[in-house]
């Protein structure tokens, strides 16, 4: 019996005895005990939060099948509390500061918070929901305050500064010396030398910047979803492939609009379907939906832009800089705004000249078609460019994207292209792991093996577009490589390929193929990391260097040997015919003026925003006018070629992704990438010897030395812009000895 039932029986017996004693001459009453309740099931043990301890999966892969949204808040709180306790112990260590008890101890601190941050940041970007976004809003300012509490800790900085002042006497190895240098620089740039009053002001600015950036990112995500164009009549989709029409139907079905078609917005200004749709009014409607998102309405971002630009200017002023761009660039390869502006002007001039000649060719096609059909002609507009460029491409090279796509089936591109090139260069191989948990059924996981059979790490591929996934393409770490911590990298590559109906092949545009190679270049940078310290590992480099390996890896997408290996018809397995193959190679610089100019315009817009001083940001309603005036003043305004991103949806620079005053990084890095491409060609191209040299000199090094030093040591001299201009078709090749 249960103890409660025993007590009831004893109590009943006692009552019976009392009654019998007091009523000796009366029959004893019958006392019925109350029914005994059945035993309750045992309470389940409290659920363990899977984020609180390191994962026991291979390479500490997060246990996606166990993580719930509700795990993040307590894990964030515990992670911040734990690190502050660790930092306090370091800062108030009674022993004199040493490299081990201060710098190395800092590198060991915060492992719980890092684990939570990586898991949350990646899931919120690629598989978000309302709860995760709410958590982001709550935690962003807390995390900003947490970072400030560490970087502005006077006792901690005193120890770091003491070590820095005696760095020569410490006789550190090169990587450790670089780590000390980075710590001191990072703390000073974060305000460690400010007065207490200024530190308090900076902490408030950082919290406001964090909250505003988060709000911008969330509004852009909503605007992309709300801004999709609904099509009622399938005839209006004339020009799209069967697979694309099926994808549009699936997108509509997912939004509860069965029987309709939805053209979901991509993150860039120009949408891919504009190159195929014959319906000009629909093209204009899609373009208008793209450029108006975030500019007013319930998902407005313009108020946030004005606020954010001024907050950043205030932060820079407090730290002693004339504007935010000056502060941001001081610690990057470019060093100062004038260097970036000069490079943008040089490449922008060549791009504009080429784009205008391309526009003239497209206008001739428009005029000729109007004359032939006896209809009024019209001036080339942004929503027309891709459509008529495709016609021009077909006329010049006798092929269009529809003819090429059957040769760019995703599985062939991945295994016979992306993985093949990596194997030829570095000897690595990939084994798919279907036994490991994922956060979405479309995500694939691969274990990466080195040439000697040892395991390098894990690569996850999240390639498909979803409504709860941010736009664009990116790479991130779930786990960082570090000899000190004994961790190997877990990397994810994200793309946004439109999903297809079940049973349909996934056929890519050549641009999507190139993007896959690009993001894989980032993955290699993370996978090949071979460093002691987390702060210096993998892609922990400035934005104008971090894009270098990825830009370089793009070249293998169009390398004849690699292209021949993966460009195979998905139905027959036949290789792409040589005549078509030659045309694809010849056409790779087609539209180079447009591609370069749309990017340069966006980079210039970024720089102009962040070269503003305090109080100079325009009001919310003037955001697009400010953009237009900036491009006109720079001599880069050309109506048919809009910026790759307009400010209201320019996530790179306003969503806190680290590219504020840094979007130029892609072209700066591409200079390094094309120089490296020229080096490879001069040394025999796709060979293990070349790949191993690049891996040893760049990919494995992280920031163990300054980026400019790493590049010059590999390339043998300072960067040269000419190979980039030639690669993009913006300059005629020079004769080289």
Q: What are phi and psi of 430, to 5 degrees?
A: -130, 130
Query: Following CA atoms 340, 342, 345, 347 in sequence, which dihedral angle do they give, to the nearest 10 degrees?
Result: -80
| Tokens (6 digits) for 2 | 């249960």
Q: Is residue 150 a contact partner of residue 87, using CB atoms and an 8 Å limit? A: yes
- Which residues, in sequence order, are CB contacts of 72 under 8 Å at separation 6+? 51, 116, 119, 120, 132, 135, 139
- Which tokens in the block code for residue 49? 């939060």
Distances (CA, A) of 717 to 479, 669, 672, 698, 708: 34, 15, 11, 15, 10
Distance CA 623, CA 620 (A): 6
Q: 543-553 and 510-527 helices cross at what angle (nearest 10)?
A: 120
User: For residues 273 and 263, is the Cβ–Cβ distance under 8 A?
Assistant: yes
Cβ density class 665-696: b for 16+ within 10 Å, e for less:
bbbbbbbbbbbbbbbbeeeebbeeebbeebbe
Three-class SS state of 15: helix
CB 476 within 8 A of CB 227: no
Cβ-contact 12, 31 below 8 angstroms = yes
CB 471 within 8 A of CB 93: no
Other CB atoms within 10 A of residue 193 CB: 16
Active site residue 481: no
Q: Are strands 455-464 and 261-263 parallel, antiparallel or unpaired?
A: unpaired
Q: Active site residue: 250, 409, 519, 627, which one?
A: 519
Q: Is the dihedral of CA 247, 253, 257, 258 positive or negative?
A: positive
Give me 619's structure tokens. 């009001």
Q: Among 70, 58, 507, 619, which residue's Cα sits nearest to residue 247?
A: 507
For residue 5, give the 3-state DSSP assignment.
helix
- Which residues are bridge partners to 492 per DSSP? 460, 476
For residues 506 and 495, the answer to whether their CB atoms sit within 8 Å is: no
User: By C-alpha distance, which of 700, 426, 490 is closest to 59?
Assistant: 490
Long-range contacts of 455-458, Cβ-Cβ distance < 8 Å, separation of 24 or more: 455/59, 455/488, 456/428, 456/488, 456/489, 456/527, 456/528, 457/59, 457/481, 457/488, 457/489, 457/490, 457/491, 457/526, 457/527, 458/58, 458/59, 458/61, 458/433, 458/488, 458/489, 458/490, 458/491
Q: What residues have CB less than 8 Å from 337, skipping those under 6 apart?
A: 323, 325, 326, 329, 607, 611, 661
Q: Is 333 within 8 Å of 544 (Cβ atoms)?
A: yes
**Catalytically annotated residues:** 519
């Amino acid at each position: 019996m249960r103890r409660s039932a025993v007590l009831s029986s004893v109590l009943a017996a006692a009552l019976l005895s009392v009654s019998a004693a007091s009523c000796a001459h009366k029959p004893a009453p019958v006392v019925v005990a109350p029914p005994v309740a059945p035993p309750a099931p045992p309470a389940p043990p409290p659920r363990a939060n899977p984020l609180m301890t390191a994962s026991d999966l291979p390479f500490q892969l997060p246990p996606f099948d166990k993580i719930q949204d509700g795990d993040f808040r307590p894990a964030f709180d515990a992670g911040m509390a734990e690190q502050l306790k660790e930092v306090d112990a370091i800062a108030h260590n009674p022993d004199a500061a040493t490299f081990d008890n201060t710098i190395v101890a800092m590198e060991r601190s915060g492992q719980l918070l890092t684990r939570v941050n990586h898991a949350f940041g990646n899931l919120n970007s690629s598989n978000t929901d309302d709860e995760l976004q709410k958590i982001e809003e709550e935690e962003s300012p807390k995390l900003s305050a947490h970072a400030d509490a560490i970087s502005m800790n006077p006792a901690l900085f005193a120890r770091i500064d003491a070590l820095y002042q005696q760095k020569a006497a410490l006789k550190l190895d090169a990587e450790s010396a670089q780590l000390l240098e980075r710590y001191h620089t990072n703390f000073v740039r974060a305000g460690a030398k400010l007065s207490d009053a200024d530190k308090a002001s900076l902490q408030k600015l950082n919290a406001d910047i964090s909250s505003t950036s988060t709000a911008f990112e969330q509004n852009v995500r909503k605007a992309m979803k709300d801004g999709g164009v609904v099509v009622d009549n399938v005839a209006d989709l004339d020009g799209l492939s069967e697979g694309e029409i099926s994808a549009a139907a699936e997108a509509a079905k997912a939004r509860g609009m069965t029987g309709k078609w939805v053209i979901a917005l991509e993150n860039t200004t120009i949408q891919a379907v504009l190159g195929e749709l014959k319906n000009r009014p629909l093209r204009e409607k899609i373009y208008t939906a793209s450029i108006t998102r975030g500019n007013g309405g319930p998902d407005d971002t313009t108020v946030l832009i004005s606020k954010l630009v001024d907050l950043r200017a205030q932060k820079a002023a407090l730290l002693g800089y004339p504007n935010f761009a000056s502060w941001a660039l001081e610690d990057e390869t470019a060093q100062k705004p004038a260097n970036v502006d000069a490079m943008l002007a040089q490449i922008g001039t060549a791009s504009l000249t080429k784009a205008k000649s391309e526009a003239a060719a497209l206008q001739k096609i428009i005029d000729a078609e109007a004359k032939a059909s006896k209809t009024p002609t019209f001036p080339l507009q942004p929503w027309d460019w891709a459509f008529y460029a495709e016609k021009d491409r077909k006329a010049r090279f006798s092929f269009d994207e529809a003819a090429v796509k059957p040769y760019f089936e995703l599985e062939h591109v991945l295994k016979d292209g992306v993985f093949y090139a990596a194997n030829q260069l570095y000897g690595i191989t990939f084994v798919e792991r279907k036994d490991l948990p994922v956060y979405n059924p479309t995500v694939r996981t691969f274990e990466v093996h080195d040439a000697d059979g040892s395991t390098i790490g894990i690569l996850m591929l999240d390639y498909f577009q979803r409504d709860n996934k941010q736009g664009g393409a990116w790479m991130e770490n779930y786990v960082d490589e570090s000899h000190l911590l004994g961790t190997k990298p877990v990397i994810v590559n994200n793309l946004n390929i439109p999903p297809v109906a079940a049973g349909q092949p996934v056929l890519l545009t050549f641009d999507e193929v190139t993007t896959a190679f690009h993001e894989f270049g980032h993955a290699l940078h993370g996978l090949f990391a071979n460093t002691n310290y987390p702060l210096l590992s993998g892609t922990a480099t400035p934005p104008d260097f971090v894009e270098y390996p990825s830009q370089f890896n793009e070249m293998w997408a169009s390398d004849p040997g690699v292209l021949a290996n993966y460009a195979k018809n998905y139905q027959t397995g036949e290789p792409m015919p040589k005549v078509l193959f030659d045309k694809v190679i010849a056409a790779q610089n087609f539209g180079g003026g447009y591609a370069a100019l749309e990017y340069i315009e966006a980079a210039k817009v970024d720089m102009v925003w962040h070269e503003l001083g305090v109080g100079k940001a325009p009001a919310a309603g003037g955001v697009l006018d400010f953009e237009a005036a900036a491009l006109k003043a720079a001599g880069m305004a050309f109506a048919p070629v809009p910026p790759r991103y307009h400010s209201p949806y320019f996530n790179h620079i306003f969503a806190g992704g680290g590219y504020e005053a840094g979007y130029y990084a892609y072209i700066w890095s591409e200079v390094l990438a094309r120089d490296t491409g020229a080096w490879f060609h001069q040394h025999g191209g796709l060979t293990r010897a070349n790949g191993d040299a690049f891996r040893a000199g760049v990919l494995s090094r992280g920031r163990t030395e300054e980026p400019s030093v790493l590049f010059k040591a590999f390339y043998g001299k300072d960067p040269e812009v000419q190979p980039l201009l030639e690669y993009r078709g913006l300059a005629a090749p020079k004769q080289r000895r």
